[in-house]
Amino acid sequence: MAMLPLEGTRILALTQLGAGPYAMTVLGDLGAEIIKIEDPTLGGDEARNVPPYAADGDSPYFQSLNRNARSLTLNLRTAEGKDLFHRLVRVADAVYANARGDLPAKLGLDYASLQAVNPRIVCCSLSGFGKTGPRAADPGYDFLMQALAGFMSMSGDPGAPPTRCGVSIVDFSGGLMSAVGLLIGLMRARTTGVGCDVDVSLLDTAISMLNYLAVWSLNRGHRLERLADGAHQTLVPSQTFPTQDGYLVVMCMKEKFWQRFAERLGLAHLIDEPRFRTFQDRLTHRQELIPMLKEVMRTRTTAAWVELLRGTVPCAPVYTVADALTDDHVLARAMVVTVEHAQFGPLREVGCPIKMAGVQPRYEAASRLGADTAPLLRALLGLGDEDIARLHQLGAI
């Protein structure tokens, strides 16, 4: 098998739950060596016990987010554990942590604490609120960020309460942003020989995702609100339409798509109608246009509309998760893979979203708690059996 692009990159990952482990999974799929450092006094990452289906210190939830990770137990609150960590830093490229923003400095996981140990080390922190600012010491989670960043104020129907996205979109976006930041830091360190701190927060990531909505609000005082049918704020028609037996999302993001949509609905006469001629016209007269389109959309099944519109007008049926995971395109893109697991057997998971010519991602189960402690200490630091036994007795590992 060809060498993976991140092979030879070693990351000490002090990660928990979702966002940080997701970042490490993507990098691990593409060859990075992920050494997950877990506190043995706490039973390791809490994700190991997240229901449903958790059993004996492992769970499908944990496996889905820690693929390829090797587990090394280490108690950083002991002098021996801290010394051992520093020895590992000397042979690593990066330290990655997703704790509260105030903790990396307190725990000695930042560049100021580690540069004397390894001047090239890149210290990446992913936290809820970042290392600075009035909320730096607050715990932060995806649900909170969806609320604070205004996502929920725009999600759901107008008459319903604010609604969060069903997927942990900020966790995963923050994880990807931190992975990008870490790789940028590694590139610079390999060029200059000097490492650095990388500070990424979930809230910063969520605010950055407001993008054009923020520009409208900041510069024109544009009022953003919940719209019926999950409609786009300004581009009409771009929303969910009820069909005879389900729902179809149609996105007329270009004028040509609107024209094609109208033609296929048998409403070609609306194309040159002054009320609907341009994006601005349709936005102004949204309440007049949408009921006409809905009336026609209800006359056929979702499958019939997909057959008529696909490839001509951007559209998609509203799938269940089970539907999405059996879609022919998803399967053709190798986005459902099988990972062999000693306890759970063949475990089907989602694949790596980054495709590269000649690269076959690595898919291996995450290790049981502490399973790699002794092998890694032997291989990376040259410790013998007596050394490892002594560290066990001292509570360092």
pLDDT the model gives residue 102: 92
Alpha-carbon separation of residue 178 from 65, 101, 124, 126, 275 (angstroms): 15, 14, 7, 6, 46
Average pLDDT rounded to a whole number, residues 176-199: 97
Is the pLDDT reported for residue 288 higher than 70?
Answer: yes
Percentage of residues in the chain having pLDDT higher than 70: 100
Local structure of 346: helix, strand or coil: strand
Give the residue with greater pLDDT, 296 vs 55. 296
Domains and CATH numbers, the chain: 10-208+332-393 (3.40.50.10540), 247-317 (3.30.1540.10)
Average pLDDT rounded to a whole number, residues 150-171: 93
pLDDT per residue over 64-82, tens digit each?
999 999 999 999 999 999 9
Give the C-alpha separation, 94 to 33, whole Å.
Answer: 10
Is the pLDDT reported for residue 2 higher than 80?
Answer: no
Rounded to 5°, the CA angle 201-205-209 comes to 170
pLDDT the model gives residue 1: 59
Average pLDDT, the chain: 95
Residue 174 · residue 126 · CB < 8 Å: yes
Active site residues: 171
**Exposure letters 290-316 (e unless 16+ CB within 10 A, then b):** beebeeebeebebeebbeebeeebbbb
pLDDT per residue over 298-339, tens digit each?
999 999 999 999 999 999 999 999 999 999 999 999 999 999
Is the pLDDT reported for residue 56 higher than 90?
Answer: no
109 burial class (0-12, 13-18, 19+ CB within 10 angstroms)? buried
Is the pLDDT reported for residue 197 higher than 70?
Answer: yes
Give the C-alpha separation, 61 to 345, whole Å.
Answer: 15
DSSP string, 160-212: SPP---SS-HHHHHHHHHHHHHHHHHHHHHHHHS--EEEEEEHHHHHHHHHHH
Average pLDDT rounded to a whole number, residues 199-207: 97
pLDDT grade for 159, boundaries at 50, 70 and 90: confident
Closest CA to 303 of 319, 313, 317, 293: 317
Residue 61 · residue 349 · CB < 8 Å: no
pLDDT the model gives residue 341: 92
pLDDT per residue over 241-259, tens digit each?
999 999 999 999 999 999 9
pLDDT the model gives residue 230: 93
pLDDT grade for 353, boundaries at 50, 70 and 90: very high
pLDDT the model gives residue 343: 87
Give the C-alpha separation, 138 to 284, whole Å.
Answer: 43
pLDDT per residue over 89-145, tens digit each?
999 999 999 999 899 999 999 999 999 999 999 999 999 999 999 999 999 999 999
Percentage of residues in the chain having pLDDT higher than 90: 90
